[in-house]
Amino acid sequence: MISKQEIELIRAGTEHEPIVANLLQLYAHDFSEFHDVLLGTDGRFVYKDLPLYFREPTRNAFLVKHEGKWAGFVLVQRGSQISDDAGVWDMTEFFVLRAYRRRRIGTEIAHEVWRNFPGKWEVRVMEANLPAKQFWKRALKRYTGAEIASVRLEKDGSFWQVFSFYSSASR
């Protein structure tokens, strides 16, 4: 168990974009186990929407530090990517470095994000990503105090498990 003081959630500005881009390479590498992720001609994974998180007001990028060291990132946007609900918060991407997993760092970060963006949320997990599905089930139960059932949806040929819930700033 870790104390919250050891974890920092930092709103990423344009000066942090290269750091998020570097961490996205590690995320995409991990994610390529479950999904066909494209490599660019330069040998790097492609995440074309990253610049939008530093330009559009409906998108938010965060960096995670643990004891002063980079530990991950979170991308959040207003508007669902799966249900087309414009009013929902979407946990677009969420990544914790392997060295920091299974230490409740991800759970603490998710809870902090949900407190910062109260309202209706969707967290979607690619169906093949069983470790992520288990993580989100645990994190949501700790946050809401109840088990949140996921709904299976298909979009563009991929199957997703989608968790929907409401957050409040007071949790």
What's the pTM value of the predicted model, to 2 decimals? 0.89
Query: Please, what is the angle between helix 130-144 and helix 105-116, to 10°?
Result: 60
Residue among 78, 8, 73 nearest 47 (CA): 73
According to CATH, what is the number of the domain 4-167? 3.40.630.30
Per-residue pLDDT of the chain (171 residues; tens, 9 = 90+): 344 558 889 999 999 999 999 988 787 777 766 666 676 777 777 788 899 999 999 999 999 999 889 999 999 999 988 878 899 999 999 999 888 888 788 999 999 999 999 999 999 998 888 888 999 999 999 999 999 999 998 887 888 899 999 998 766
Structural domain boundaries of the chain?
Answer: 4-167
Residue 125 has phi, psi (to 5 degrees) of -135, 130
